[in-house]
Structure 1
Amino acid sequence: MRSGALSCSDVGRRVRLGGDLQTYIHSRLEKGGHKILLMTHVIVGYPSLDANRKMLSYMAAADVDLVELQMPFSEPVADGPTFVRANQEALASGLRVDDYFDFVEEAGQLCDFPRLMMGYYNPVYQMGHERFCERLRQAGSAGFILPDLPIEEYDDLFELSEQNELEPILLMTPTNQQQRLQQIGDHARGFVYAVARKGVTGTQTQIQDTGVTDLLSRCRQATELPLALGFGLTEGKDLRPLHDSEAQIGIVGSALLRSWEEDGEEGYVRLLQDLAQNR
């Protein structure tokens, strides 16, 4: 390692304390020996906070690179049936917004990779932008993903996220025209979430489809930031075609939750290992 260079763990710690996700991603790729990074997903409160703790511990053992911690919401418009039901059951269990932020902070003791808030804008609006960003910073989050908030409606969120050393992760979709992708790219920080297809989470995506390749190519024209491909990746073999693509991160969420529900903890661990080995 060059004198004065940051190790992956050093960069990861810096990100967790409010740092540079882009640097972390490039460092993990360079030092970790993987072709693609793995970002996973947890719906906080489902099936329980104790189960979430186990999930994060298993992710840490599998050396996952990043995780989305979803704040449950009653109308998760970008989510498929598995996540919709999980959101509703988490709320029905009595999970409060304060409980969510407490868990994000606790998660820092369970895993040493960056944690990103994922959720919908209504709870953020109810909290107020300033309080939202402050709470995320205090909890140790690296940034946030708000799939239902267009950049024109961010208002002071860009400025407040910078003040609180948070990365606002923006989405690029197949329906975006190139001019729109460029507008999103101009505002993006950390990395860009490329949505593999139209629709909601949980439906399988064929990575070899020319539409996915074309989307990643168009996203790359609009930004030099790392690209994370999500929506429909289900197993390790889905990550392998990304090795030679424009993407730097593969996102797996619904498949992991289904494995927990259908195959228990052992199945969950097997899928995590399969994903980790195929990065």
Structure 2
Amino acid sequence: MDNRTGDGGGSTGTAGGTGGIRLLDSVLAQARAEHRAALVGYLPAGFPTVDGGIEACVALLESGCDIVEVGLPHSDPVLDGPVIQTADDIALRGGVRIADVVRTVREAHAATGKPVLCMTYWNPVDRYGVERFAAELAAAGGAGCILPDLPVEESGAWRKAAEQHGLATVFVVAPSSRDERLAKITAAGSGFVYAASLMGVTGTRESVGREAQQLVARTRETTRLPVCVGLGVSNAAQAEEVAAFADGVIVGSAFVKKLLAHPDDLKSGLEDVRTLAAELAAGVRRGAVR
């Protein structure tokens, strides 16, 4: 998000929060007990509108996603690809604020009872106030926060606030992370580990898939936390493939594309989102998690 922060729009949480991390842990454990990977969906708040984004998040959770990540739109999302950058730009031009992100989390969780996390770059949280952000996210029923650009060494204030309010702190690891770095990151995190990689262009997918599988194996050597993979998955066959070696399959751009394809027809976009979520859910259930 840019410098607009707005009002939180939520009541302040108390120490211990809502226990969102307990719900997250339970859902991931249940998927494991069912011998499958969890399906994790992602959509930015405020896209295509605030109300439309809430409907889309609910649609994901009702159609097969076990968990949803609500993105906090940023004016310079350097770690996101062009599809999510486009959605973020639409949300920002629509005037989305942190209050809308919190509202999206609240209403998606309230409608489904499922875990909803916020995925955000660090700067908006820092500007808004770490304690304030954690308290409002917890009061909204949030399960935690994914912070892709927050170094572990600088995460103490956030982790303290998150623990006080019952929120998970999810860190991101990459194939370039050395083993000692993986151990440091996973020791500081909670909820799950986000293993980031790319499917690559046509013709390179097999080798990139192997790299992601190796990253999951290396990460598991350092932690007992579930390891969920963001790989650019867009169909059931790919979801099944990733589910064979990961504890969770994270899908974002494919859902955003469905909504972008219907800029003036939210109903059709939601129908496509529901269909894709159901197909992906079937895919992760065919994948065999060790």
Q: Matched residues in 2 for 1:102 and 1:266: separation?
A: 23
TM-aligned CA deviation for residue 207 of structure 1: 6.2
Number of the residue aligned with 1:232: 232
Number of the residue aligned with 1:215: 215
AA aligned to 1:274 is E
Q: Matched residues in 1 for 2:210 and 2:199: separation?
A: 14
Query: Identity rate of aligned residues, in percent?
Result: 32
TM-score, normalization by structure 1: 0.86
Match of 2:32 among 24, 29, 32: 29
Contact 2:192 2:227 in 1 (8 A): yes
Q: Matched residues in 1 for 2:55 and 2:100: separation?
A: 17
Q: Does 1:255 align with 2:260?
A: no
Matches within 5 A, 1:110-189: 110-189=111-190
TM-aligned CA deviation for residue 220 of structure 1: 1.0
Q: Does 1:274 align with 2:242?
A: no
Query: Cα deviation per residue 1:22-66 (whole Å; 9 max; x = unaligned)?
Result: 333112332xx4511100011110111232233133223313100
TM-aligned CA deviation for residue 108 of structure 1: 2.1
Number of the residue aligned with 2:20: 18
Contact 1:64 1:113 in 2 (8 A): no
Number of the residue aligned with 1:11: none
Number of the residue aligned with 2:266: none
Q: Matched residues in 1 for 2:169 and 2:20: separation?
A: 12
AA aligned to 1:215 is L
Considering Cα pairs closer than 8 Å and 6+ residues apart, tell me whether 1 or 2 has the greater RCO.
Answer: 2
- Number of equivalenced pairs: 259
Note the residue ranges of structure 2 that are not aligned, 5 or more in a row.
1-16, 263-268, 285-290
Q: Matched residues in 2 for 1:258 and 1:198: separation?
A: 16
Contact 2:19 2:165 in 1 (8 A): no
Q: Which piece of structure 1 moves more, 236-245 or 262-271?
A: 262-271
Query: Cα deviation per residue 1:210-244 (whole Å; 9 max; x = unaligned)?
Result: 21121111111121110000031111111112343
TM-score, normalization by structure 2: 0.83
Note the residue ranges of structure 1 that are not aligned, 5 or more in a row.
1-14
TM-aligned CA deviation for residue 172 of structure 1: 0.9
TM-aligned CA deviation for residue 197 of structure 1: 3.8
Task: Provide the secondary structure at the position in 2 that maps to 1:38.
Answer: strand
